[in-house]
Structure 1
């Protein structure tokens, strides 16, 4: 009886949105108990990130009627997380964030099922992401956002009039916090601007002069960047630093401590080392709660149509008083990520190896260490080693044959691209057209030039 009353109390406010009509509802909204049941039974939501914002998102989504949730995060719990990531306890230090967060929410919210994934987002096959209706981001990294954005936009297909096919649209809800500031936004690939369309919103990362780092460090950040940018290459010649590798980060921290002691500079901690290297600004619990609430509400709107969605970027500033504002940004019609895809014209004789070489030379791509897939089938994978060995024999085969002799089709490539001295993982969608094949018209060839 008590459980039944608690369930009714929890769904009271939700029922006000889902069981009755309104003036702000979406065009397909049909109120009634069936909608609430469908939300619980069929809506599948992936939360990316189980940190400060991710913990709030899991809790809010579970309390908003979503029952089928999954969460992915590669980090383990640290003592410094406990002041704002409320699902974790001291005895959880060292455990995977995703697993502990899922367990704690399921303990508190009856009926919800949360599947945790303790791994890098790049470790999952693309089809893993395609299984979800909505992807919600609680990330602290521009690179990670760009990757998930490219994955979701990669599922988007356009018709012959370059209109997005509705059934291929994978909506995303993105939240971010920075001290007392935050944002919530919706990304509907092909309709609203994607993350890459508005990448200019994010300020450039602070850079320190190398002469200061090498000769006259004055702050803890200088010592950390010295270990990261100078000392690492001196000691690990030829080995790329991986900010997501705990052993690499621990090495930088230890070297930064030595550097700081040499110059009498206090303040180097492991947490600060992570923040400087990955450009992370510590979050505040209240900001996380506000932004998570906005993201959870937008997710509910997308899933049910109970109200029109945000148009399309909300900013929050709690530094001096309280200020919120909604801005409608415009989609970049030439975006390489959410557009119809980059046109690549090839001869049928081109092998997969030659195609991968061309990706490295293409002025709009400049992709190194590329992996290639077609309709979910791995044509060639750079990693892990077992997949590389399994797909290596395809390198000498014609790409035309590997794509089942389809004269024009979409393929996906993942690889690394360089921005200055920084290398980042990315995913790109390509429209491959084979020249001289029946079914390829002059209009096809001209359309993506």
Structure 2
């Protein structure tokens, strides 16, 4: 009778053997490979911040822990919802309602011995520069452009180079949408930052109401018609609740009937829910691929074992729609970037607009995308959103025309609370001559 085979648990030294093959042995692309004990210990002593503990963040936390990082912090303000469980694999049914950051941290600590993960259940804006200064690198797994812009502006603003080299914090950013994804590395002030690349994330164009009302061509048009027009006309419930299945079902049936009238196929309950709630489809395999790329860049920064995204090729795109395809390229830094640039960015506007119209346009402009901007020039405060006393004092300017308030070619400073303390610099270029409004009682 054969004896049962026993397998000894891995020792602490053998646990990371696969990493030592990379850390200790120079590769064909290694340039300044350092396999000294101090260099090898850097992976275990450096502190990394992960922003986001959702679908991408869960993968990033797991990958960092299995790559030898021992000191990790994670920040996320959200709690776990039952809809998260299909792709955010660190969570279980019993975790619904609990903090994502705290549950994810405890799960990874339990599975990977020796790693320490500190959770922060709050907004990234709740932390000051001293908090971010303690990290060697920041890895983002966010689904929000606003949050990316805020952390990007914060890290760029912290740089005091060359006087304080430690103030330079590489930002590794990942993002996914369906079968597509991207990872990029930002070396603040030295390479293209997220604000330089903002035009790649332009707001989606709104569908004209006339299209929804008369000639819908896509299933999404039928759903938007039900959402915007049919609901307003019929008011089946006092107030639309996007999370109420009964409300979504009503919209789905309305959209389906309209689609049939125009011979349009593709209206489903899940699509209706996605359009109404503006849900971007998340696929677990895409999250895994992009998280692996982000953590690979963090590993290369920590060990200098191979060249990574950075000063040269700094942007990696992935497409899994038809096969698997990736490519990298260098996104150029812009001299007129509002965050890391050195000159004001030109903005062409109609001088006959009111200041209110200029402010409203900034939400849709790809180069701005600001939601609550405050505007000043070198000589005057035009409009401030806060404090309330200053807002009341500057509110009369909203009805004045741009040509009345500013000169062609004048520079303005624009701030937005979602972007921290950064002031965007824009130089106004009038698209046409200013035509002053005739004064009351004066005739030609």
Residue 426 of structure 1 aligns with which residue?
A: 419
Residue 177 of structure 2 aligns with which residue?
A: 178
Q: For 1:55-204, what aligned pairs fall within 5 Å after superposition?
A: 55-157=58-160, 166-202=165-201, 204=203
Q: What secondary structure is seen at the aligned counterpart in 1 of 2:166?
A: helix
Residue 421 of structure 1 aligns with which residue?
A: none
- Over the aligned positions, Cα root-mean-square deviation in angstroms equals 4.3
Residue 208 of structure 2 aligns with which residue?
A: 209
Q: Confirm whether residue 37 of structure 1 aligns to residue 41 of structure 2.
A: yes
Give the superposition deviation at 1:193. 0.8
Q: Confirm whether residue 415 of structure 1 aligns to residue 425 of structure 2.
A: no
Give the superposition deviation at 1:198. 1.7
Give the superposition deviation at 1:260. 4.2
Q: What secondary structure is seen at the aligned counterpart in 1 of 2:422?
A: strand
- TM-score computed with the length of structure 1 as normaliser: 0.66
* Structure 2: runs of 5 or more not aligned: 1-5, 258-266, 346-358, 375-384, 390-412, 426-444
Question: Cα distance 1:272–1:33, how it changes in 2: closer, same or farther (>3 A)?
Answer: farther
Question: Cα distance 1:342–1:169, how it changes in 2: closer, same or farther (>3 A)?
Answer: farther
Residues 42 and 303, structure 2, Cα contact 8 Å, conserved in 1? no
Give the superposition deviation at 1:294. 1.2
Residues 189 and 340, structure 2, Cα contact 8 Å, conserved in 1? yes
Compare the two structures and name the one with the higher strand fraction. 1
- Alpha-carbon distance in 1 for matches of 2:214, 2:77: 36
Question: Cα distance 1:15–1:121, how it changes in 2: closer, same or farther (>3 A)?
Answer: same
Q: What secondary structure is seen at the aligned counterpart in 1 of 2:41?
A: helix
Give the superposition deviation at 1:225. 8.4
Residue 326 of structure 2 aligns with which residue?
A: 324
* Structure 1: runs of 5 or more not aligned: 236-246, 344-359, 371-380, 383-387, 393-411, 417-424, 433-449
Question: Cα distance 1:268–1:95, how it changes in 2: closer, same or farther (>3 A)?
Answer: farther
- CA deviations 1:110-145 (Å, max 9, x no partner) are 011111222232333343223221111111222222
Q: What secondary structure is seen at the aligned counterpart in 1 of 2:132?
A: helix
- CA deviations 1:205-255 (Å, max 9, x no partner) are 1422234557888856765687589989xx9xxxxxxxxxxx997579876
Give the superposition deviation at 1:91. 2.0
Give the ranges of 4+ consecutive aligned residues of structure 1 lying more than 6 Å apart after TM superposition: 1-4, 214-218, 228-232, 251-254, 363-367
Give the superposition deviation at 1:201. 2.5
Query: Quick check: which has more Rg, 1 or 2?
Result: 2
- Alpha-carbon distance in 2 for matches of 1:263, 1:276: 11
- Alpha-carbon distance in 1 for matches of 2:323, 2:424: 49
Give the superposition deviation at 1:33. 3.1
Residue 302 of structure 1 aligns with which residue?
A: 301
Give the superposition deviation at 1:23. 4.7
Residues 227 and 252, structure 1, Cα contact 8 Å, conserved in 2? no
Give the superposition deviation at 1:292. 1.1
Question: Cα distance 1:276–1:153, how it changes in 2: closer, same or farther (>3 A)?
Answer: farther
Residues 75 and 101, structure 2, Cα contact 8 Å, conserved in 1? yes
Give the superposition deviation at 1:97. 1.8
- Alpha-carbon distance in 1 for matches of 2:321, 2:301: 30
Residues 251 and 272, structure 2, Cα contact 8 Å, conserved in 1? no
Q: What secondary structure is seen at the aligned counterpart in 1 of 2:78?
A: coil
- CA deviations 1:278-320 (Å, max 9, x no partner) are 7542122222111111111100111222221122111222222
Q: What secondary structure is seen at the aligned counterpart in 2 of 1:101?
A: helix
- The partner residue of 1:13 within 1, 10, 18 is 18
- CA deviations 1:58-89 (Å, max 9, x no partner) are 00001111111111222222233222221112
- Alpha-carbon distance in 2 for matches of 1:248, 1:174: 35
- TM-score computed with the length of structure 2 as normaliser: 0.66
Give the superposition deviation at 1:108. 0.5
Residues 47 and 69, structure 1, Cα contact 8 Å, conserved in 2? yes
Residues 341 and 431, structure 1, Cα contact 8 Å, conserved in 2? no
- Alpha-carbon distance in 2 for matches of 1:263, 1:325: 39
Residues 155 and 188, structure 2, Cα contact 8 Å, conserved in 1? yes
Residues 341 and 430, structure 1, Cα contact 8 Å, conserved in 2? no
